[in-house]
Amino acid sequence: MAERLPKPVSAALLLAAAAVAGLWLWVPREDGRRDADSKLGVIAHSGDALVPLPQVPRLPADKVALGKALFQDVRLSRDNTISCAGCHDLSSFGHDGRRGSVGVGGAEGSVNAPTVFNASLNFAQFWDGRAASLEDQAAGPVHNPLEMATDWAAVIGKLQADDAFRRDFLSAYPDGITAANLADAIATFERTLLTENAPFDRYLRGDPQAIDARAKLGYRRFRELGCVSCHQGVNIGGNMFQRFGVMADFFGERAPQRPAVAADLGRFNVTGQEVDRHVFKVPGLRNVAETAPYFHDGGVARLEDAVAIMGRYQLGRELSPDEIDSLVAFLKTLTGMPPASLKR
């Protein structure tokens, strides 16, 4: 794959691609190319399409603290058994390590919980992108019968009855405990969840020793093979939608082990458009070595296997063990530290 287009590709073409990608941060380069995803009409770049994570933003401390408390508050669930952190463990890279998450009453969902770390940098939330912002997202699990199985009115009732909480909340939000304010506090906290000091970020910022030769080879292959045409920008993903199974039928071939369920339709569930069947938000790859199992169905336990699947279904090639090994060495350099602000 990855045949070259005549270069330079016209600026207009690149701008159109940037518009498609939405929040696209890339350093302009002269070369561009069409990769496997040309089937979806997206223009790909090689080059430095990856950028380091920004610093944790300064946000109102009282709202961050309230959001942090709410994130860990089981009163957000119907039977007071599960908090957001129950599925997005803040001491374990913001995820739960399960194939499908387990909510109130032991109900198992059909999709894997993505990490909340760096989620604020995604252009939309959820695998199918059905929430446009973290504020919109927050209502999802509260109302989801398989997750917290309640509603804001019930949650607000419980929180209103807690004098200390009500007082603290009023000082940050003069109009008091409303669904919008609760979502705002949670989202404000989530915006502080940027991981820090990943070796790859140190490398991008100019320290050539921050990653070893194996990882550098993996980074080169990540660009040359065309992974970067989908996984790019500050979150190394999270800025576009793409089909899972561009070059081969992933869901058809998975069917003998695991028949398709509604969640496998991806964005089709949001738009009802045939072109969106099996289309998902390209996940960010930051900290990916720490957030197994992989894919929206949580069906793959090893990062090596996830990379091989990407080669086969997204790029139309069988990656060699050496290619996979170097790509994984690169992906491991994307592991950062939980934000220092979490410990305060």
Q: Could you give the residue numbers annotated as active site?
A: 147
- 232 with 48: CB under 8 angstroms? no
Sole binder of ligand HEC in the list 24, 93, 117, 126 (CB under 6 A): 126
Find, among 120, 119, 124, the residue nearest to 21 by Cα: 124
Q: Which two tokens stand for residue 81?
A: 């058994």
Is the CB of 37 or the CB of 276 nearer to ligand HEC? 37
Judged by CB under 6 A, the chain residues 91 through 120 that form the site for ligand HEC are: 101, 103, 109, 111, 113-114, 116, 119
Q: Determine if 334 is a binding residue for ligand HEC (CB under 6 A).
A: no
Q: Determine if 211 is a binding residue for ligand HEC (CB under 6 A).
A: no
The least distance separating ligand HEC from the CB of residue 119, rounded to whole angstroms, comes to 4
Is the CB of 32 or the CB of 103 nearer to ligand HEC? 103
The least distance separating ligand HEC from the CB of residue 278, rounded to whole angstroms, comes to 8
Q: Which two tokens stand for residue 114?
A: 């993505």
Residue 4 identity (one-letter amino acid): R
Q: Determine if 66 is a binding residue for ligand HEC (CB under 6 A).
A: no
Dist. CA 136–CA 190, nearest whole Å: 13
Q: Determine if 49 is a binding residue for ligand HEC (CB under 6 A).
A: no
Burial class for 284, CB neighbours closer than 10 Å (0-12, 13-18, 19+): buried
Sole binder of ligand HEC in the list 150, 232, 242, 335 (CB under 6 A): 242
- 257 with 251: CB under 8 angstroms? no
Q: Which two tokens stand for residue 98?
A: 């399960």
C-alpha 8 chain-centroid distance = 32
Sole binder of ligand HEC in the list 311, 336, 338, 339 (CB under 6 A): 311
The least distance separating ligand HEC from the CB of residue 225, rounded to whole angstroms, comes to 5
- 204 with 50: CB under 8 angstroms? yes
Q: Which two tokens stand for residue 86?
A: 């129950």
The least distance separating ligand HEC from the CB of residue 331, rounded to whole angstroms, comes to 6
Segment interacting with ligand HEC (CB under 6 A) among 164-172, 194-202, 226-234, 332-340: 226-234
Q: Which two tokens stand for residue 218?
A: 């993996």
Sole binder of ligand HEC in the list 138, 159, 198, 329 (CB under 6 A): 138
Distances (CA, A) of 341 to 3, 10, 196: 45, 44, 10
Is the CB of 113 or the CB of 329 nearer to ligand HEC? 113
The long-range contacts involving 58-63, CB below 8 angstroms and separated by at least 24 positions, are 59/188, 59/191, 59/192, 60/172, 60/188, 62/168, 62/171, 62/172, 63/172, 63/173, 63/184, 63/185, 63/188, 63/189
Q: Determine if 230 is a binding residue for ligand HEC (CB under 6 A).
A: yes
Sole binder of ligand HEC in the list 64, 194, 307, 334 (CB under 6 A): 307
Here's the x/- map for ligand HEC, 249-288, by CB under 6 A: it reads as -------------------------------x-xx-x--x
Q: How many residues bind ligand HEC (CB under 6 A)?
A: 54
Q: Tell me how long the chain is.
A: 344
Dist. CA 178–CA 12, nearest whole Å: 45
Residues that bind ligand HEC (CB under 6 A): 36-37, 71, 76, 82, 84, 86-88, 101, 103, 109, 111, 113-114, 116, 119, 122, 125-127, 134, 137-138, 141-142, 147-148, 186, 225-227, 229-231, 242, 244, 246, 280, 282-283, 285, 288, 291, 294-296, 306-307, 310-311, 314-315, 327
